[in-house]
Amino acid sequence: MTSRASAATDPDGIDMGKPTGFLEYLRELPVDRTPQERVRDWDEFHHHMDEKHLRQQAARCMDCGVPFCHTGVQMSGGASGCPVNNLIPEWNDLVYRGLWREALERLHRTNNFPDFTGRVCPAPCEGSCVLGIDGAPVIIKTLEAAIIERGWDEGWVIPNPPKVRTGKRVAVVGSGPAGLAAAAQLNRAGHAVTVLERDDRPGGLLMYGIPNMKLDKRAVVLRRIELLEREGIKFVCNAHVGENVEAQLLRRDFDAVVICTGATVPRDLAVEGRGLNGVHFAMDYLRTSTQALLGGNPDAAPLHARDRDVVVIGGGDTGTDCAGTAIRQGCRSLVQLEILPRPPGERADDNPWPEWPRIYRMDYAQEEAAARFGRDPRDYLVTVKALTGDAQGRVSGLVTVGIEWRQNDRGQLVPVELPGTGRTLPAQLVFLAMGFLGPEAAVLRDLGVECDARSNVRAEHGRFATSVRGVFAAGDCRRGQSLVVWAINEGRGAARECDRFLMGSTDLP
C-alpha cells in the first residue's frame, strides 16, 4: 500500500494523512434530485458533490491496519467487502490529497468499469468498512464515481490499445459486465476479441436490464463501449448464438470462447390466470422501455403503465427498477409484493459486521412512490394465489394472502398462509420480478458444455474452464444471479485463465 507520508503534503500542511478525519467529519452524501422532480424525466437522479466535501469525506477513511472494505468474500450468502478487491484505502488517501489522476490509476488497477459500479453497485465495501462498526461508514461508492467522472472530464480516460498483437482470436458470447470485463482484459493481453451480443445494442444487463435513471445509456454505457471499440474490440449485435449463429462455428473460427450470457431465465408464477394479457416478466418491461427511450419516444413503449394500476411481484433491485419505470410512465397506483418479512431497522444479532447489513432501506423508487402515493409501495409477507381477468382476457386483479415463515418437521423455514388475510388488488399490469433460474440452454447445449444441478455452466471458480477445451465461462451463467461487480470479477478471472490457455502463461491480474 502507498505510504501516506510519501504521497504528498495534505491540505492542512501536515506531511501525512488525516488520522483524525473520521472524528472531525460526519458522513455526508450528495443530495439527490427530489422525487417530485426526477420522476418527470429519465435522467440520473444524483447530484455531484463539490471537491472540498469529497476530500473531507475521503479523509474519514481510517487507513485500517487490516481493511475489510476490499476483501470481497462471501459471508452468510452475501458479499462482504469489494468483490473486485478495489484498493479503497489507497485511493481514499489520494482523493484526500487532491491527487485525482493517481486515484484513478489505482481504481483502474482492479476495476475496468468504475463508471458502472460507482452507480449501480450496492456497495458491500461500505457494509464492511471498519468505521461502520459503531458509526457511519466512508462514502466509498460516491468517491469511486467521483474519481472516474473526474477522469473522463479531465481527458485522462483514453484508448489504450495493446502495442503487440498475439495473433490469437477469442469470441466472447454476451456483452454484459462479465463479457465486457473479459473482452477488455483479453484485448489488453493482445488477443483479437469479438463480442457477440444477441440484442440490437451492446451492454447486456447494463443496457437493457438497468433503467436509464440509474445508469445513463449514452453518457455512461455507450461511452465506455466506444472506448473499448477504439482499443480494438469488435462488437457484433443481433448475433444470437444457438439461433442465427452456430455455436460450433465459434470453436472452429476462434482459438478460445468465453461464455458470458448471464442468468436470463426468469422465475415464473405458477398460479391461475398467469396467461392473462398484461402479465409480463420484468426484464421484458425494462428492455422495451429503454428501447423506446433510446428511440427518442419513451411513450411509444409497447408496455406502458400510464393510468394503470401496477403490481410488481418481487422486492429486489429488478422489482424496484420496474416500480421506478412505472412511476415515470404515470401509473395510477403501485404495489410491490414481497414474500419475505420487512428487514429490521438495525443489524440483527445474526447479521454482524462485516457482513452486508440486511436492514430496511428505501431505494430510489420507493422514495418516489412515497412522494407520489404517500407510502412505501412494498407489502411484506404476501404471496399471490391467483390472477383475475376481464371478459377480454386482460388481467384485472390479484388475489393475495398473508403468510408467515415457520419451521417444518425437517427444520426448514416454509411459508404458511394466514387465515383471514386474503384480499384482491386491482391491476391492469403485473410484472414478475422474482429472480432468475439460470442461463438459457441453447448456447450451452450447442457448445456441449456440462452444467451443474442448478443449470449453470460447470466451471470451477478460479479456473473458469468448462468441460470443453478452450471454452470458458464467467458471470451469472456460471455462478447464478449475482451483482454487477461479481460479474466484473469473474470476467477478469476468466480472461486471465483464457490467456494462460492461449499463451502458456499470463500477466493478467
Structure confidence by residue, pLDDT tens digits, 264-283:
999 999 999 999 999 999 99
Is 160 within the bounds of a domain? Answer: no
Distance CA 207, CA 104 (A): 24
Whether 242 maps to a domain, the answer reads yes
Examine the pLDDT at 10 and tell me if it is beyond 60: no
The pLDDT-based confidence of 17 (bands split at 50, 70, 90) is: low
Q: In this structure, is residue 461 part of a structural domain?
A: yes
Burial of 385 from C-beta contacts in 10 A (0-12 / 13-18 / 19+): middle
Task: Judge whether 15 and 127 are in contact, CB under 8 Å.
Answer: no
Domain span including residue 37: 4-154
- pLDDT of 219 strictly over 50: yes
Residues 362 and 398 in one domain: yes
Instruction: Using alpha carbons, list the distances in angstroms from residue 280 to 41, 276, 400, 501.
Output: 24, 9, 18, 42
Q: 508 lies in a domain?
A: no
Share of the chain above pLDDT 70, in %: 97
104 and 45 share a domain? yes
- Matching residue, cell 437493457: 208
3-state secondary structure of 199: coil
Q: How confident is the model at residue 77 (pLDDT cuts 50, 70, 90)?
A: confident
Q: To the nearest whole number, what is the mean pLDDT of the chain?
A: 94
Residue 335 phi/psi, 5-degree rounding, is -130, 135
Question: Using an 8 Å Cβ cutoff, are 110 and 126 in contact?
Answer: no
For 238, 273, 364, the CA distances from 270, given in Å and listed in that order, are 31, 9, 30
Is 509 domain-assigned? Answer: no
423 and 461 belong to one structural domain: no
Examine the pLDDT at 11 and tell me if it is beyond 90. no
Domain presence at residue 161:
no
Cα–Cα distance for residue pair 267/288, rounded to 1 Å? 19
Same domain, 256 and 382: no
- Alpha-carbon distance values, 318 to 185, 205, 282, 295 (Å): 28, 11, 7, 22
Same domain, yes or no, for 302 and 365? yes
Question: Would you say residue 2 has pLDDT above 60?
Answer: no
Q: Which of 128, 154, 180 is the last residue of a domain?
A: 154
The residue among 131, 154, 177 that closes a domain is 154
Q: How far apart are CA 32 and CA 362, in angstroms?
A: 13
Beta-ladder partners of 259: 173, 473
Say whether pLDDT at 186 is over 60. yes
Within-domain flag for 163: no
pLDDT score of 1 more than 50:
no
**b/e per residue, 253-263, with b = 16+ CB within 10 A?**
ebbbbbbbbbb
- Our measurement of the distance from residue 105's CA atom to the centroid of its chain's CA atoms, rounded to an integer in Å, reads 23
The per-residue pLDDT for 46 is 87
Which has more pLDDT, 500 or 2? Answer: 500
Q: Which of 92, 123, 154 is the last residue of a domain?
A: 154
Counting the structural domains of the chain, the total is: 3
- What pLDDT does 396 receive? 98
- pLDDT tens track for 337-368: 999 999 999 999 999 999 999 999 999 999 99
Beta bridge pairs of residue 508: none
Give the residue-averaged pLDDT of 123-145: 95
Residues 15 and 36 in one domain: yes
The yes-or-no verdict on residue 5 having pLDDT over 50 is no
- Do 136 and 202 lie in one domain? The reply is no
pTM assigned to the model: 0.94
* E-state strands within 242-332: 256-259, 265-266, 279-281, 309-313
The residues facing 382 across adjacent strands are 402
User: Residue 49 — very low, low, confident or very high, per pLDDT cuts 50/70/90?
Assistant: very high
On whether both 469 and 344 belong to a single domain, the answer is no
Question: Same structural domain for residues 310 and 239?
Answer: no
The pLDDT confidence band at residue 15, using thresholds 50, 70 and 90, is very low
How large is the average pLDDT for residues 225-251? Answer: 95
* CATH number of the domain bearing residue 84: 1.10.1060.10
Is pLDDT above 90 for 12? no
Mean of the pLDDT values across residues 274-297?
Answer: 98
- 333 and 472 fall within a common domain: no
CATH number of the domain where residue 382 is located: 3.50.50.60
Cis? peptide before 354, omega within 30° of 0:
yes
* Structural domain contains residue 442: yes
Alpha-helical runs (H) found in 61-176:
88-96, 100-110, 114-120, 124-127, 140-154
C-alpha distance from residue 457 to each of 157, 181, 488 (Å): 34, 18, 17
